Structure 1
Amino acid sequence: MEKKASMVLSALLFLAVSLTGCTDKAPEVTEAPKKTEENKAAPSEPKPGGIVKYGYTQPFKGLLDRAFYGGEDDNLILRFVTDSLLKTGDDLKTYPHIAEWTESDDHKTFTFKLKKGVKWHNGDELTMEDWKFALETIAHKDYTAAGGSRYSNVEMIVGVEDYREGKAKDIAGIKLIDNYTMSVTVKTAAPNTVSKLWSYPMPKKYFAGVAVKDMLNSDQVRKKPLGIGPFKVKKIQPGEYVEMERFDDYWQGKPLLDGAIYKVVAGNMATSLLENGEIDIMAAPNSQFKEVEKLTNVNINKQDALSYSYIGFKLGTWDKKSEKIIVDPKSKFADKRLRQAMYYALDRQALIDAFANGLGKAISAPMPGVSWVKIPDDQLNPYEYNPDKAKKLLDEAGYKDTNGDGLREDPQGKKLTFNFDAMSGTEIAAPRAQTMMQMWKDVGLDVKLNGGALKEFNAFYDVVEHDDPSVELFAGAWSLASDPDPSALWKSNVLWNFPRWYTAESDRLIDEGISEKAFDPNYRKDVYHKWQKLVNEEVPMLFLNSPVDVTVSNKRLQNVKANSFTNQIDVHKWWVTQ
């Protein structure tokens, strides 16, 4: 759950991890000055020129095409390089951008009209062939096997199954009218069709000769990505930095900055890097907020995030052949009383206060407070910190200390331990994991780091996504799409349902939330309230908190805006005073 992209309609990953060893120095950029009497007040008129450094605290994966990326790490680069045909407003609604649309009376056929003269970074003009090519790529039978995860953003189109299975050469529901006009017909009317439909084109000519199965590791994705955004990629040092330069023919006008450098930095150095002007803008770790707040050369923006952190239970596996979750009735966590007990054992508010400077709110369902369908707290079990209740539930479920060592055995009297996976990186990663494990130990549960250590970001998601048999309990986070439809994370047929949990009722409610009745927003909200209550009772995850994002920018950088989705709004309008 993207992991914070305005129109990435599948969910995107959002987690902060640290810098691994750098082997190549990033391009030198004149250091941004600290606050002085001369630069307190910015000029009233924007001035062109200058380069800014954008810092991020995890090595990026380097999947620099929208159809294949999966995390916030790559998303932040793509926000400089790519544009969506549609855009998401501060109100989380979908609006025209490069394309506008009309809708049939039955809400099934959408006709999109593209602006003329929009150019790719190589000078080719953007046409509807490029969007059609993107939809066909995502619908292709080899796409998911090649590492793509956006099929849920095209599966609603008429004829997708026949195309995917090789029964048709084209997708029946896609009609190319001319170079700038295309219609898309969907199987059923839904209130979120436009917001969910994949809206990022791919340069068809540029990918000519590259099979879908080979795209993930192609130069077009890894080394020389092509976009229609305000900046184009100049140089990539994998996992360390991406240097970008201004695209003069950008469709919204020549950007003001000469360029931008996306640079991986050590999370524990964020405050000093901002203070010294080595980084111009970044989402600062909440654990350093008190130190960042004291800096005099920066502006700080706090924004309730459309995201949440969680502890997930592995309750099954992903079957690649059927592309469906197989729930394991023998999972260590099959008894929901155990899952609920582990919830009661966590003092979530103490974790927020100790490791995030209080920047967050404990939640008990997978909808953050900024979502318009968030269920009122008083309608959910809040799972407030209550170790006595946790112990009682464990006793009832048969998890008892039978040998007097202070740790509980399983209901069959056998030794019981749980593997816990969490990510490394920030200075608080290890102590936070140790604190949670101690809280579980206080109620008699033996939880240990899987392999004895925290994992780097990409290694963590590799074992979680591929259901490594050693993974049992894992700490992660999701940044969500603008529409509240939870399909991309919670349906029985989606890869990103990492706990591998579903029920027939959960699938039914999720489908009901995008039914024709759900065109009534009150009906839709009621459906999602019922779904949140179900998840709250079944506890496939321990929902920890919905965070407050802190964007910190040097005062020389002007026109930075943020919302619950991103701090990279209209980057072509960014400019610097020096």
Structure 2
Amino acid sequence: MKKSYTGAFRLFTLLLVMMMVLSACGGGTETAEPAAGAAESGQAAAGGGTAAEDDKSEDGLVSIEDFDTAAANEGTAIEGGSLNYGLVSDTPFEGTLNPLFSSGVPDANVSQFFSESMLTVDENYVYTNDGAATYEVSDDGRVFTFTIRDEVNWSDGKPVTAEDWIFAFEVIGHPEYDGPRYGSDIENIEGMAEYHEGKADTISGLVALSDKKLRMTFLKATPSLLSGGLWTSVVPKHVYGDIPITEMAAAPETREHPIGFGPFVVDRIVPGESVTYKRNDNYWRGKPALDGVTLRVVSPSTVVQQLETGGVDLVDAFPADQYPDNADMSNVQYLGDTDAAYTYIGFKLGTWDKKAKEVVTNPDAKMADVNLRKAMWYAVDNDQVGQRFYHGLRWNATTLIAPSHPDFHDTENPGVAYDPEEAKRLLDEAGYKMDGEFRTNPDGTPLEINFVSMTGSDVAEPLAQYYVQSWKAIGLNVKLEMLEFNTFYDRVGQNGDDDPSVDVFQGAWSLGYDVDPTALYGRDALFNFSRWSNEENDRLLKEGVSEASMDVAHRQQVYKDWQQLMVDEVPVFPTLYRASLVPVNKRVMNYDIATGSGVYLYQLALNSDKPVVAE
């Protein structure tokens, strides 16, 4: 089965974007942020396919099954050349180009050309031995021994070492670290909790056996450790070692001249606007085919023109709402795949405790009544949203484990179906009575709900307005505010500061390889933007990564139960699953967006020194 991989390292930082937007790519298109703890790989990716007008059904809907994941362009590759890459967004990228601190997909897509994970995965999200490091696992599944290839060096010529990997963990686990990576998965490393609490100067479970060999010992074996649950991004200790942890995210080494061991080297950055890369002649897999890459932000309103004129050769994600009118663009091939992502509506139910680094759920929050939340789910018709706004390239989502993870997505769980009469009944029984045009709180006070969504594609605001009108139809007074990408994430709490004026938000998650949802919904997850906690949720999330869950059938049952719990409790509700589309100029060769395809960014090539222009 195909797996989505939209953006070579899109899964390597974590975060969320609002649909018309969250979590993804940048403010300008429907995007979503990568899930916390998501792993990266050096594989080429983006999203797009080759469906034409005759692939559409009679009702005008498009199926993702009509697309290919690999560019079919033929010809003879020229020597060198430069690729033009479009980051579709209506807002600048933030520019936090360090995996320990980055939290948005736009920055991940910027980093993909110069930064890599230590491990790659296959089509089933299982770690392979084809990456920058190989690994062996002890019989009890608790001890991993990694060997970094001798030829893997930082772009400044220094070797990538076991100490670099250990240093990344020391930063994440440090008491002064305020980034998004520390959580239960990191704390599973032996000695990490003691180090994080300041009781130890080193992490006992991390031992450099040599310059290129690392032993990593975990407190318990979990099924996640082989399927995307390891932290596999490293940072150069010789660059960051003397920088205070509280200053790393804003340091010039992060924002102006970052280094990595990927196929390209950062040559020049225009903050928030563009990045020029040149070939890394000493890349460990071999000399890249291209001389370089130029990445620049492209507005959703001009992306079609840029593609038609050859201003960009490919983009990170094409706005699905624009596809039908441009399906026959003559100079590109559309690649497409089921995206490892979903969009959702979230409810603010508490705050983030920065000191304790966990959510604090408020039983008196405005949206605390589960009947109110479920009524808002009943009120929206996401089948129609997917068809009318996205022509079938988005479709109704039922649970919080997406079909991109078919072994665990519960196809039998219907979620909550559109039923506005049931929504009204729930609100009536819960005491939300009509008083004129709108309902009041059960205590008779006015109920006004503040809803934030994100700017982006042409359908961003119309879609948000659809939700507002759907909620009005059941008597709820919802006030909409549209925010650009960075402001949105500040307001919903990406830095741990929750804006008390936000009651409901529309977001999306781009998912990591591991199915474990703890990094998004755990009690200690910064990305748990709803700030919801629940003892049964704690139990199921813990059980999902227990030794018992090494049995796939047991783990499937655990996550089936968890999906139902989230349907019952509704801290957030999923709205749409989605396809990823990436149009690729016909001069681009050796590009495949499928996870585990074995096609990597260093192989990207061109069959002409000039882009093909639309006829």
TM-score by length of 1: 0.91
Residue 184 (1) aligns with residue 184 (2): no
- Counterpart AA for 1:416: L
Task: Check if 1:108 corresponds to 2:170.
Answer: no
* Offset, 1:440: 0.7
Q: Which residue of 2 aligns with 1:167?
A: 199
- Conserved 8 A contact 1:190-1:518: yes
Q: Is the CA contact (8 Å cut-off) linking 1:54 and 1:262 kept in structure 2? A: yes
Distance (whole Å) between structure 1 residues aligned to residue 94 and residue 484 of structure 2:
12
| 2:406 maps to which of 372, 375, 381 | 372
Retained in 1: the 8 A contact 2:119–2:128? yes
Q: 2:77 aligns with which of 46, 67, 74?
A: 46
Q: Distance in 1 between matches of 2:245 and 2:281?
A: 31
| Distance apart, 1:491 and its partner CA | 0.8
The match for 1:94 is 127
**In the alignment, residue 121 of structure 1 is paired with which amino acid?**
S
| Matched letter for residue 387 of structure 1 | P
Work out the CA distance in 1 between the residues paired with 2:74 and 2:382.
45
Q: Sort the Cα spacing of 1:375 and 1:84 in 2 relative to 1 into closer, same or farther, 3 A.
A: closer
Contact 2:399 / 2:410 at 8 angstroms: preserved in 1? no
The offset of 1:442, in angstroms, is 0.9
SS in 1 for 2:515: coil
Pairing of 1:182-331 with structure 2 (within 5 A): 182-194=214-226, 195-282=228-315, 283-331=317-365
**Distance in 2 of aligned mates of 1:349 and 1:155:** 40
Cα deviation for residue 250 of structure 1 reads 0.4
Q: Deviations over 1:149-181 (max 9, x none)?
A: 344452211111221222222100111111111
| 1:419-430 map, 5 Å | 419-430=450-461
Match of 1:447 in 2: 478
User: What is the SS of the residue equivalent to 2:467?
Assistant: helix
Q: TM-score, normalised by structure 2?
A: 0.86
Identical aligned residues as a percent: 36
Matched letter for residue 470 of structure 1? S
* Residues 215-246 of structure 1: CA deviation (Å, up to 9, x unaligned): 01111111110100001111111111111111
Return the match for 2:462 from 400, 423, 431.
431
Letter in 2 for 1:129: E
- Long gaps (5+) in structure 1: 20-39
Residue aligning to 2:525: 494
Partner of 1:28: none
Q: CA deviation at 1:10?
A: 5.4
Q: Which amino acid aligns with 1:502?
A: S
Runs of at least 5 residues in structure 2 that lack an aligned partner in the other structure? 17-22, 30-70, 609-615
One-letter code aligned to 2:222: A
Q: 3-state DSSP class of the match of 2:136? A: strand
Residues 15 and 476 in structure 1, CA contact (< 8 A), matched pair in contact too: no
Contact residue 408 and residue 515 of structure 2 kept, 8 A: no
In structure 1, the partner of 2:378 is 344
Deviations 1:504-537 (A, max 9, x none): 1111111101111111111111111011111111
Task: Provide the alpha-carbon RMSD of the alignment.
Answer: 2.0
Partner of 1:27: none
Whole-angstrom distance in 2 between the partners of 1:17 and 1:568? 30
CA, structure 1 residues 3+160, in 2 after alignment: closer, same or farther (shift >3 Å)?
farther
2:416 to 379, 383, 403: 383
Amino acid at match of 1:156: N
Asked if structure 1 preserves the Cα contact closer than 8 Å seen for 2:180 and 2:526, the reply is no
1:123 maps onto 2:157 in alignment? yes
CA contact (8 A) 1:254 1:572 kept: yes
The one-character-per-residue Cα deviations of 1:321-355 (angstroms, maximum 9, x if unpaired) are: 11111111111111111111101110111111222
Shift in Å at residue 17 of structure 1?
Answer: 2.1
1:261 to partner: Cα distance: 1.4
Counterpart residue identity of residue 102, structure 1: E
1:8 matches 2:12 = yes
Residue 333 of structure 1 is matched in structure 2 by 367
Following superposition, the deviation at residue 148 of structure 1 comes to 4.1
| 1:524 counterpart letter in structure 2 | R
Tell me the equivalent position of 1:32.
none
Aligned 8 A contact 1:9 1:196 in 2: no
Aligned to 1:547: 578
CA distance in 1 between counterparts of 2:392 and 2:403 reads: 16
**In the alignment, what sits opposite 1:476?**
507
Q: Determine which of 556, 563, 572 is the counterpart of 2:602.
A: 572
Q: Distance in 2 between matches of 1:274 and 1:293?
A: 12
CA distance in 2, matches of 1:462, 1:80: 27
Query: In 2, distance between residues paired with 1:486 and 1:118?
Result: 32
Deviation per CA, 1:353-406: give whole Å up to 9, x if none.
22222212211211111213444333x34322111111111111111113xx22
CA distance in 1, matches of 2:192, 2:203: 6
Alpha-carbon spacing, 1:251–1:375, altered in 2? closer, same or farther (3 Å): closer
Partner amino acid for 1:63? T
**1:246/1:209 CA distance change after superposition, 3 Å:** same
1:463 is the counterpart of 2:463: no
Provide Cα deviations, 1:169-217, integer angstroms capped at 9, x if missing partner: 2100111111111101111111112432211111111113111111011
Residue 355 (structure 1) aligns with: 389
Q: 1:254 to 1:3 in 2, by over 3 A?
A: closer
Deviations 1:477-508 (A, max 9, x none): 00111110111011111111001112111111
Give the counterpart letter for 1:368 in structure 2.
Answer: A
Residues 392 and 569 (structure 1), Cα distance of their counterparts in 2 relative to 1, 3 Å cut: farther
Which amino acid is 2:282 matched to? D
2:50 maps to what in 1?
A: none
1:518 to 543, 549, 561: 549
Q: Does 1:394 align with 2:427?
A: yes
Map of 1:31 onto structure 2: none
Is the 1:313–1:541 contact (alpha carbons within 8 Å) kept by the matching residues of 2? yes
Q: Helix, strand or coil for the counterpart of 2:439?
A: coil
| 2:257 match: secondary structure | coil
Q: In structure 2, how many angstroms separate the alpha carbons of the residues matched to 1:247 and 1:224?
A: 15
Determine helix, strand or coil for the equivalent of 1:311: strand
List aligned pairs for 1:410-421, cutoff 5 A.
Answer: 410-421=441-452
Residue 65 of structure 1 aligns with which residue? 98
Answer yes or no: is the 8 Å Cα contact 1:54–1:263 preserved in 2: yes
Write the distance in 1 (CA, Å) between the matches of 2:595 and 2:572: 23
In 2, Cα distance between equivalents of 1:229 and 1:52 = 16
How far apart, in 2, do the equivalents of 1:444 and 1:353 lie? 25
| Gap change, CA 1:16 and 1:66, over 3 Å in 2 | closer
Number of aligned positions between the proteins: 548
Amino acid at match of 1:477: A
The one-letter amino acid of 1:545's match is L
C-alpha separation between the residues in 1 aligned to 2:257 and 2:515? Answer: 34
Q: Is the 8 A contact 1:15 1:477 kept in 2?
A: no
